[in-house]
Amino acid sequence: MEDFSFWKWYTETAEKAGALISYTIAGLMLGTTRQYIQNLVYREKLPTYEYDGMKFIGMNDLQKVIIKRQETILKNPSLKRITYKSARQEKDEDEKKFQQDLTDFLESDIGKEWLNNNWPPKEN
């Protein structure tokens, strides 16, 4: 016969904490990393539920963190969550805009005149 102690613990814990998920899944749901979740746990902003060395986050607790983050953003709309992906996307867009602006300038009359007067660079 199998030992159902984990199942019993899980169902009892899930009744009060909601579904139990890993740090990684919690991070994905917040749009952040597992390490950020660990930081929240370390700072006691997010409780954990442990069974035999395995740590879980309760969905009810995670939902409170999500709501608190949304309220903070609503109170201060200038706060913008920056992730690596969004920062990279913004950088790529800036580079494309710069390339387009440079191309537009060089194709304009002023740009052509500037090129004629300054290219190739003169040596001192």
Confidence of residue 88 (pLDDT cuts 50, 70, 90): confident
List, for residues 26-59, the tens digit of each pLDDT value. Answer: 998 888 889 999 999 999 999 999 999 999 999 9
What is the percent of the chain with per-residue pLDDT over 90, rounded to a whole number?
A: 42
Of 112 and 59, more confident: 59
Mean pLDDT, the chain, whole residue set:
85
pLDDT at 23: 93
Q: Are residues 92 and 58 in the same domain?
A: no
**Contact in structure between 50 and 56 (CB atoms under 8 Å):** yes
Cis peptide, bond prior to residue 120, ω within 30 of zero: yes
What integer pLDDT is reported at residue 114 of this predicted model?
Answer: 79
Q: What is the DSSP string of 104-117?
A: HHHHSHHHHHHHHH
The yes-or-no verdict on residue 15 having pLDDT over 80 is yes
At residue 77, what are phi and psi to the nearest 5 degrees? -60, -20
The total number of structural domains in the chain stands at: 2
Higher-pLDDT residue of 82, 93? 93
Rounded distance, CA 32 to CA 20, Å?
A: 18
Same domain? 75 vs 86: no
Answer yes or no: do 42 and 91 share one domain: no
Please report which confidence band the pLDDT of residue 21 belongs to, taking 50, 70 and 90 as the band edges.
Answer: very high
Alpha-carbon torsion, ordered 26, 30, 36, 41, to 10 deg = -50
CA 106, distance to chain mean position in Å, is: 38
93 and 57 both lie in a single domain: no
Question: Does 27 lie in the same domain as 86?
Answer: no
For position 1, what pLDDT does the model report? 43
Task: Please tell me which residue, 117 or 78, carries the higher pLDDT value.
Answer: 117
Do 16 and 66 share a domain, yes or no?
yes
Range of the domain at 119: 82-124
State pTM to two decimals. 0.57
Q: Are residues 70 and 56 part of one domain?
A: yes
Tokens of 112: 């052509």
